[in-house]
Amino acid sequence: MTLWNGSYPFYPGANACFPFDTTRAVIVTIFLSMLATSIIILPGIRGRRRLFWFLRLVLGLSMGAVILTVQFTRDWETGWVQANTSYKSFSPVQVNTDIGLHIGLAGVNITLRGNPVNQINETINYNEHFPWNFGADYDRSYSQGLQKGLPSPILYVAEKFSKQSPCAVHRQYRIAGHYVSLTLWLAFCTWLISILLFSMSILLYGGHMLLLTATLILSSLLFFSTARNTPKCPIQFGSASLRTGYGESFWLTLAAGLLCLLLGLGVIVLNSVQPEKLKLIFSLDKSSKGEMWDKSCLPAEPSCSAQDGLTVPLGELCHVTATQL
């Protein structure tokens, strides 16, 4: 006879880990498709304008992809520890595992991987997500994990971020994640506006929008840093301690913010000091507009009309033969 309506209460099997983040893959695929489509027209651009156009394209798409991707990543803050710990509650059996903590804007991911993966006749390879974004209940997800009978290390780490935990870090991370997400969405909008302004050859205002984008991105990093620097409870597994540091998404966002800052300042400075070079970078120099100016219509040309002849000096007037009706 079994408990829980005929099912065993503990560990029916490990959750399968998907090999990659599908959201990140979709965003990267979209931006790479845009890049590949734009490269098709690259041979039609002549001279050095081709290089400048390609650089603008790569930099613009890269910044947009980074701003959009880090919204959905779960590695703003990460940490790993290798420890011998109990695998099941109320069991003296211990296993050697690698335990990972990954904090994102929308929740926390906890990874448990056996070392080796197969131990005590089980496959130890877990990756559990506990959300705290709008519309999600962290404590409810934690309770569901208890009902499923997740391994003890995962429940132990997840409990540190619950509302009832004495660590009191749930509120800080949740509010910081909301503000960071909102600020990054605003940065994505200002990036789109800057791309539109540059395409309309309004270079100075495009540089200002890049500066605003950089300000929003760097502000989002400041919001996240305030939450991370709050005092935390230690996460101990015997003598080993799980410590976290800034993850890949944080440093990638910082690089995008600094790049936007440098590009925005560069556009504004060049527009004030050497506007001709700025026009050359954006293919607005006189040589690129040479084909737009046609030669003046001369009287000897067949297309010269009587109306055009009125604007020509008297010595060069077209001879018009009038026919009497």
DSSP per residue, 73-101:
-S-SEEEEEEEEEESSTT---EEEEEEEE
Report the predicted TM-score, pTM, of the whole model to 2 decimal places.
0.77
Q: Which two tokens stand for residue 127?
A: 């990756």
Does residue 20 come out as left (phi exceeding 0), alpha (psi in the -120 to 50 range) or beta? beta
Q: Which of 72, 52, 106 is nearest to 287 (CA)?
A: 52
Report the alpha-carbon distance of residue 171 to residue 159 in Å, rounded. 14
Q: Which of 109, 111, 119, 110 is nearest to 87 (CA)?
A: 119
Sheet holding 94-103, edge to edge: 122-131, 107-119, 94-103, 77-86, 245-246
Per-residue pLDDT of the chain (325 residues; tens, 9 = 90+): 333 343 334 444 444 444 446 777 788 888 888 888 877 877 767 767 777 788 888 888 999 999 999 999 989 999 999 999 988 877 788 899 999 999 999 999 999 999 888 888 888 899 999 999 888 889 999 999 988 889 999 999 999 999 888 888 888 899 999 999 999 999 999 999 999 999 888 889 999 999 999 999 999 999 999 887 777 788 888 888 999 999 999 999 999 999 999 999 999 999 999 888 888 878 776 554 443 333 333 444 444 444 444 444 544 444 544 445 4
Sign of CA dihedral 33, 38, 40, 43: negative
Report the alpha-carbon distance of residue 218 to residue 212 in Å, rounded. 10
DSSP per residue, 201-236:
T-HHHHHHHHHHHHHHHHHHHHHHHHHHTS-----E
Domain definitions of the chain by residue range: 77-167
Cβ(209)–Cβ(203) below 8 Å: no
Please tell me what DSSP assigns to residue 315: G
Token pair 């989002």 in the structure block, residue:
220
